[in-house]
Amino acid sequence: MKIGILLGDDIGLEVVPECVKVMKAAASRSGLNIDWRPLPVGKRGHEEHGDTLPAVTEKALHDLNGWVCGPIGHATYPRNDPTWVMPPIRKKYELFAAIRPSLSHSNLKSIHKNVDIVFVRELTEGMLYSETVVGGAPEFRPNDDITIAMRVITRKGSNRVAREAFEIARTRARKKVTAAHKEPVYRLACGMFAEECRKVAREFPDVAFEESMIDTISMKLVMVPQQYDVVVTTNQFGDILTDIGAGLVGGLGLAPGLCVGERQAMAQATHGSAPDIAGRNVANPYAMIISGQMLLQWLGRKHGEPKAIAAADRIRTAVDRVIAEAKCLTSDLGGNAGTTQMGDAIAAAVLAA
């Protein structure tokens, strides 16, 4: 396996090394060989090469199976400078789906218990133009009183994100997919997405399938999230639903993520770069570590590599153990451990398993 290391900005410089530390421990314990490739991105990329996605990184990523990418601090980047942008990694490498689990833990404070949902969000279409457009922008203002925005939905994009959701559901105990949309209102756009979900559903007779209006599922997620297993939806709807999911189980510190394509995947936690706490060794590494775990699990499934799946299972077991013992948790989880201390505890639990 060839895996890149992109630290990102701010707390990325702290949580990504903990993720890699844990992944290396799990790989070693499982006999999985990984060729690690450190690559510059974000502020470091700009400082060294004059761009937040340097050509050296862009070229190298094409040859990797996947990479771990820390949060990017683009909110503080200079405006109106094309070299200071959110690196368009998802678009350039056709990472078409964001897989974002929301999992509650019995001994951690959360709005709901017994929550175990995987959100699958389409990434290459919709209205979020930084991720979906190569040139130009799908929104414009012809005069000071009018703004026009476009939303793009394709059969290809809808079909492949639905297929990813059903493949994930097939590996889970409940084997259920919920497609979230607003077809009665957006009859062509959401209608096309719903049509493709229904087509894919017929290919997975072992997986239960249902549809829900986006407003209905938003309400029910707050009230009874336990009824959902895998939820698949379009880009902007997914952007919102996944943050609801994170809020249900304790916040963005517990919100890992994996962006996947046909042959590559990027582990990237849902949270931002949190410059206000950067450099203080207090950031929660959970989301980044579980993102790395998800990358190993996905690579194992895609490549038929049992060692990668075994490594992923070791990380999951180790994280659950450290959380259950509650001796090395960061302050947001009710403990007093630092970032590195929590990472060390998880890596030690991996090696002890």
Q: Among 44-48, 91-95, 276-280, name the one with the lowest average pLDDT.
A: 91-95
Rounded to an integer, the average pLDDT of 21-47 is 97
Token duo for residue 281 = 């060794």
Rounded to an integer, the average pLDDT of 75-82 is 90
More confident residue, 15 or 79: 15
Three-state DSSP at 101 gives: strand
Token duo for residue 292 = 């790395």
Name 98's bridge partners.
121, 259
The position carrying tokens 């060989």 is: 33
Q: Say whether pLDDT at 213 is over 80.
A: yes
pLDDT-derived band at 263 (thresholds 50, 70, 90) equals very high
pLDDT score recorded for residue 88? 87
Three-state DSSP at 176 gives: strand
pLDDT score recorded for residue 61? 98
Alpha-carbon gap, residue 273 to 16, rounded angstroms:
11
pLDDT score recorded for residue 130? 59
DSSP 8: -
DSSP line for 270-303: SS---TTTTTSS----HHHHHHHHHHHHHHHHHH
- The alpha carbon dihedral of 73, 78, 83, 86 has a sign of positive
- Residue 121 host element (H or E): strand 116-122
Q: Among 61-75, 83-97, 264-278, name the one with the lowest average pLDDT.
A: 83-97
Token duo for residue 237 = 């709807």
Q: Say whether pLDDT at 132 is over 70.
A: no
In contact, 285 and 343? CB cutoff 8 Å: yes
In contact, 228 and 216? CB cutoff 8 Å: no
Task: Kindly list the distances between the CA atom of residue 137 and the CA atoms of 25, 81, 85, 127, 158, in Å, as whole numbers in the listed order.
Answer: 44, 16, 14, 9, 21
Alpha-carbon gap, residue 47 to 43, rounded angstroms:
6
Look up the pTM and report it. Answer: 0.93
pLDDT score recorded for residue 353? 80
**What is the pLDDT of the chain when averaged over all its residues?**
95
Tally of residues, the chain? 353
CA-angle at 151, arms to 146 and 152, nearest 5°: 145
Alpha-carbon gap, residue 9 to 36, rounded angstroms:
19
Rounded to an integer, the average pLDDT of 76-104 is 93
pLDDT score recorded for residue 139? 83
Rounded to an integer, the average pLDDT of 273-286 is 96
pLDDT score recorded for residue 317? 98
Percent of the chain with pLDDT over 70: 98
Alpha-carbon gap, residue 211 to 144, rounded angstroms:
39
Query: What pLDDT digit, counting tens, does each position of 291-321 carry?
Result: 999 999 999 999 999 999 999 999 999 999 9
More confident residue, 202 or 92: 202
